[in-house]
Amino acid sequence: MLQKRPINNFLYLVLISALFARCEVADKGSNKTNVKTISGELSGVFTDDIYTYKGIPYAQAERFMPPAPPAQWIGVKEALDYGPACPQLKQSMTGISAEILPGESEDCQTLNVWTPEINGNGKRPVIVWLHGGGYRTGSSFEQPCYDGENLARKGDMVVVSVTHRLNVLGFLNLAEYGDKYSASGNVGLLDIVEALRWVNRNIQNFGGDPDNVTIFGQSGGGGKVTNLMAMPDAVPLFHKAIVESGSLNTSMAPRYSGLIADSVLNRLNISPENIDEIQNVPFEELLMAGEAVIPKIKKIAAQEGFVIYQFGWCPTVDGTIIPEQPFDGRAPEISKNIPMIIGTAQNEFNSFYSQAKDTTLESVREVLVKSYGDRTDEYIKDFAKAYPDYKPMDLIQQDLIFRTAAVDEGLWKAEQAEEGGAPVYMYMFNWESKNNPLRAFHCLELPFVFYNTDMDTSLVMGPFNVDIDDSEKTQQLAENMSQAWINFARTGDPNVPGKLPEWDPYTPEKGATMIFDGIVKWCIITTNSSWIL
């Protein structure tokens, strides 16, 4: 097992670049890795039977404008390095800023491909990764475990990851200021749609099947998947979907995203008749204007009864690009035939409120009473039914944020399945890192899904090294979980015969849920009108 040490993004890119010394890289005298796209020819890297292409342009766009196919190029374009990240917020001891750093650009529409074959007749399943970070931050390469090489090799499949516009650049709704800006509130998602179009047009040259595409994402990436399920332009471009800890089932209403835009323009002293001046505002000023006004608009929305988890920089349900709230009492009809996997980590963000492992039931009860009052004993009783082997601290560390939304999304999709739609499969990730107080926290399943548990995983959650051991049980979990994702991408069924218990589709009557931990098992999760466990 590799020794794991914390590394930052810049150092990670340097190390990856250094590895090229042992790889076969295309040069002017070799065409071994050359592959054609609709925009021009690319060269990449071939190592350990996998071809890798990074920083491929899939679109181009002016600020706030919908994306268009990338410009053509002449000759062979090297695809050896990741493209730029979208400019985003930075946090430090001295506060928050939006200064554009090296490796960031508004021209950030690039993707990466890992594949076992090019220029052949292969029709491998394609799986497209959408990164986390809400709709505000992140990139296709921000974490080492996003690397798709191991997953492509293990699954004999094509792995694609996408970088796109975020925050104010991707989701400032200027639609009230003229038809020119009618799509501005959703261009971050339209970038992803354009990336899927690129896959549809080009992936066959990379050994992939354009008629067998799975989208998967975690956290904000799961929210992107959820929104794409409700977008008419997107749905024809993919065939299966996986949402990991990201069931962001509702998005912005036009009234509130419009109020944010109005307040941003007022703060920048831009009048409606001079709206095009916004094109020339430095990114930092633009983003910080939005960050300043969002809390005020959020308060107005709450007073009017509109509350969503990702308020602010978030897609807008505009009636056209996104015709309706993605999952709001029912699953979208347009994606009825797309099977899904939906799940969460057991502790998610509740892990930040870590308690000592010897917490007593009496001390936990004092905390629970603040939330559940005279129903505390009822909560504990129902919790025990769902998790017979629970520890007292589980009662306050169990995620009730993402899990609630995930079960809602799963139930609505399951109800649709009963009417002839595709099935939905539910899971919970419960594996805990040794000597890590965060337990089964938000993002922890990623190295397992990507089959990258041997990589440095210290960036999975800020400064923490998650200490993924090389025990037989842990490595078998990575083997089985990644295989479930591979099988689902290939066939729409995540079952791994002989390795996992039978994974039944989720139904309203039986909450069949696969529990991924040291010993993978199947169980039924209890639902209750007051809480979802």
Tokens 């169980």 map to which residue?
A: 523
Q: 452 in helix, strand or coil?
A: coil
- Phi/psi zone of residue 64: left (φ > 0), alpha (ψ -120 to 50 degrees), beta? left
Global confidence as pTM: 0.89
At 107, give phi and psi (nearest 5°).
Answer: -90, 75
Q: Which pLDDT value is given to residue 93?
A: 61
For residues 88 and 136, what is the distance between their CA atoms, to the nearest angstrom?
Answer: 7
Which amino acid is residue 151, in one-letter code? Answer: L
Q: Which pLDDT value is given to residue 270?
A: 98
Instruction: List b or e across 197-208, with b for residues whose CB sees 16 or more CB atoms inside 10 angstroms.
Output: bbbbebbbbbbb
Alpha-helix residue ranges (DSSP H) falling in 391-514: 394-397, 402-417, 446-449, 472-491
Q: Please report the sign of the dihedral spanned by the C-alpha atoms of residue 140, residue 144, residue 148, residue 151.
A: negative
Q: Given 244, 348, 409, 445, which residue is catalytic?
A: 348
CB 506, CB 426: distance < 8 Å: yes
- Look at the domain 110-533 and name its fold: Rossmann fold (3.40.50)
Q: Given 43, 219, 245, 433, which residue is catalytic?
A: 219
Q: How far is CA 246 from CA 9, 262, 310, 395, in A?
A: 23, 29, 11, 22
Q: How far is CA 48 from CA 24, 51, 54, 115, 150, in A?
A: 10, 9, 17, 11, 10
Q: Given 131, 164, 239, 442, which residue is catalytic?
A: 442
For residues 290 and 216, what is the distance between their CA atoms, to the nearest angstrom?
Answer: 29
Q: Which pLDDT value is given to residue 99?
A: 83
Q: Which pLDDT value is given to residue 17?
A: 43
Which amino acid is residue 254, in one-letter code? Answer: P
Q: Which pLDDT value is given to residue 521?
A: 57
Cβ neighbours for 247, distance < 8 A, ≥ 6 positions apart: 222, 223, 226, 327, 342, 344, 402, 405, 406, 408, 409
CB 231, CB 193: distance < 8 Å: yes
For residues 454 and 141, what is the distance between their CA atoms, to the nearest angstrom?
Answer: 17
Q: Which pLDDT value is given to residue 531?
A: 42
The yes-or-no answer on residue 442 being catalytic is yes
The yes-or-no answer on residue 247 being catalytic is no
Q: How far is CA 381 from the centre of its chain?
A: 34
Q: How many CB atoms lie within 10 A of CB 439?
A: 21
For residues 210 and 201, what is the distance between their CA atoms, to the nearest angstrom?
Answer: 8
Q: How many CB atoms lie within 10 A of CB 518?
A: 13
For residues 332 and 336, what is the distance between their CA atoms, to the nearest angstrom?
Answer: 7
Number of H helices, E strands in the chain: 13, 17
Three-state secondary structure readout of 234-264? CHHHCCEEEEECCCCCCCECHHHHHHHHHHH
Q: Please report the sign of the dihedral spanned by the C-alpha atoms of residue 91, residue 92, residue 97, residue 98.
A: negative
Cβ neighbours for 408, distance < 8 A, ≥ 6 positions apart: 247, 249, 327
Q: What is the DSSP letter of 412?
A: H
Q: Which pLDDT value is given to residue 386?
A: 76
CB 192, CB 228: distance < 8 Å: yes
For residues 173 and 183, what is the distance between their CA atoms, to the nearest angstrom?
Answer: 8
The yes-or-no answer on residue 161 being catalytic is no
Nearest-10 Cα torsion for 173, 255, 261, 103:
-40
Per-residue pLDDT of the chain (533 residues; tens, 9 = 90+): 333 333 344 444 434 444 443 444 444 345 799 999 999 999 999 999 999 999 999 999 999 999 999 999 999 999 999 999 999 998 766 677 888 888 999 999 999 999 999 998 889 999 999 999 999 999 999 988 999 999 999 999 999 999 999 999 999 999 999 999 999 999 999 999 999 999 999 999 999 999 999 999 999 999 999 999 999 999 999 999 999 999 999 999 999 999 999 999 999 999 999 999 999 999 999 999 999 999 999 999 999 999 999 999 999 999 999 999 999 999 999 999 999 999 999 888 764 455 445 578 888 888 888 878 999 999 888 888 877 888 887 887 777 778 889 999 999 999 999 999 999 999 999 988 776 777 888 889 999 999 999 876 655 555 556 678 778 888 999 999 999 999 999 999 999 999 999 999 999 998 899 999 876 655 554 444 344 44
For residues 380 and 371, what is the distance between their CA atoms, to the nearest angstrom?
Answer: 12
Residue 324, token pair as written in the block: 């309706």
